[in-house]
A and B are shown apart, each in its own frame.
Chain A
Amino acid sequence: MGKYLQVLRIGVQNTLVYRVNFLFRATVGLVPLAGTLYLWRAVYAGKPGGDISGYALSQMISYYLLVTLVDAFTAVAEDDWQVAADIKDGNISQFLVRPINYLAYRFWLYLSGRAVYTAVALVPVGIFLFFMREHLAAPVSGVALVAFVASVAMAAMLQFLIACTMALLAFWVLDVSTFIFIQFALEYIASGHLFPIDILPAWLSRLLMLTPYPYLLHFPVGVYLGRVEGEDLGRGLAMQAGWVALGYVLLRTVWARGVRRYSAVGG
């Protein structure tokens, strides 16, 4: 355990180098957010007494604000590219011969990256949220708050597992970037990043709920807003935990096969 805390420490120091970049990212990221919010305002302005699939305008705005927050906590920044580069350049050899688990090492680096990013992004995002505070309600109940924290933590794990598994494709293909981008596009729509997926036709949103993606953003945000309650909440959390477990097994399997293949190259 101690060695991974060292990794965390080093990770924080390394990512602090990029603090200006992070600040730039977080600030520029507010421009499309503001654009989307203006777009939704215009949509609701054309709908007197507006309600879209149970979202009033204020709730729709909260949805996007919370997506921005959860995304800051959990998004994968450079981790997948770095894993792919480590494999391609042969950097993982040194981890295979040392008493350290490469995947655990990456996970702690991911956590340190998120910690630094969140701390830096808090400044511009915080100012933005302050101006939008009338739309950002407190979580509906104590249960919702606890469940929200738990589901964000699981979303972070799931996010890491998906990104890392995609990056491990570098064991088999020379250039993983297109795969990462295709995966990202799928995730962007199916996780509810672009819009809440329950405004889609019912059959389509039910279909998407069967994939792991909504558990990255849509589900945690729904929990906060009180749109998922009671029995659905328990079932949703169990589903999310199931996806994390499945993702872990998948990652370990792909890693084991990849390493076998990787070693075979040198041997």
Chain B
Amino acid sequence: MSMGEARGHQTLEPRAPWWRRYPSLYGALWRYSVTREMQFKANFLLWIVVEAMWFGLQLGFMSVIYGHTEDVAGWSRWQVILLVGCSHFIQQVFTAFFLTNVSDISEHIRTGRLDFMLLLPVNTRFLVSFRKVDLGAFVNAMSALAVIGWALRNLGHLPGPWEVAAFALLCGCGVVVHYSLMFMLASVAFWTVRIQGAVWGYYNLFNIARIPEGAFPHGWFRRVFTWVLPMILVSNVPSMALLGTMRSPWMGVSLAALALACLAASEALWRLALRRYASASA
């Protein structure tokens, strides 16, 4: 590999530095995704309908619960609507950038396409993670933001610029957590090629993110889903930042630190998997 690269430097013109090369590569991938999606317009719109239905279902569930009570674990009706909206927002941003790409990994391994990607002079994880963009998910993310705005209006709470900034940053951390966890699930495909369960398992784990954190009693369940698979923090912490109800800034710091830890763990697993990878056809 290193020899090939060295030769490449001699015969081709010098490569642009990575901070120019990768953005332009990503731009090309975007153009490709847009062209591809616009070929199936009806399908594109139907998927938006499907996602909107699931979002409506979750909001409906919470509304039904609040038809019978005023307060769940210290959260009022509109605070929980905001939480569900925030959870949907993070999930849709994750879907827009990563979901299809990460769930395609086992397919790349099975078909041997991964061999081809490993040979390209690009970071393979970059290529695998950013191949496609799901444009419909951006539309859904907007509808989630609209619900968040609607909830804030009903709460009569106008968040300040710092709260909005913290919310945006923590949502970003949430997306990183989802990406890293799902990437690890998908990397299991290196050991057992058939792992269609990854996406399904991920959706199941994600389900608990829209439950108010106060509902989880102290115990091993709460500890595992806070510190190992931080699903309880992922949308609760950004929501609390926006609502101004965060008990201490350490909650935000924890989520950020856990996001970095998850990312590092997924990189470690990915490298381990690549080292023992011996191609599909071998």
Contacts and interface: CB of A to CB of B under 8 A. Distances in A.
Binding between chains A and B: yes
Interface in A141-191: 175, 178, 181-182, 185, 188-189
Interface stretch (A109-117, A193-201, A252-260): A193-201
Interface stretch (A2-10, A19-27, A208-216): A19-27
A29 B200 CA distance: 9
A218 B68 CA distance: 20
B198 to A, nearest CB: 9
Given A39-B215, A42-B214, A52-B68, A178 B204 contact: no
A29 B215 contact: no
B65 interface: yes
Interface string A34-49: 1110110111011100
B44 to A, nearest CB: 10
Interface string B187-212: 00000101111001100110110011
B253 interface: no
B72 to A, nearest CB: 5
A149 B254 CA distance: 49
A36 to B, nearest CB: 8
A31 interface: yes
Interface stretch (B52-60, B103-111, B118-126, B145-153): B52-60
Contacts, number: 91
B211 A178 contact: no
Interface string B208-229: 1001101111000100010000
A35 B208 contact: yes
A137 interface: no
Nearest to A27: B201
Contacts of B64: 195, 199-200
B207 A28 contact: no
B46 A178 contact: yes
27 contacts: A21-B196, A21-B197, A24-B201, A25-B200, A28-B201, A28-B205, A31-B208, A31-B225, A32-B204, A35-B207, A38-B216, A38-B217, A39-B215, A41-B215, A43-B65, A45-B73, A46-B70, A47-B69, A175-B43, A178-B46, A178-B50, A185-B50, A185-B53, A185-B57, A189-B61, A194-B57, A199-B64
Interface in A32-81: 32, 34-36, 38-39, 41-43, 45-47, 52-53
A24 B60 CA distance: 29
Contacts of A185: 50, 53-54, 57
A182 B56 CA distance: 12
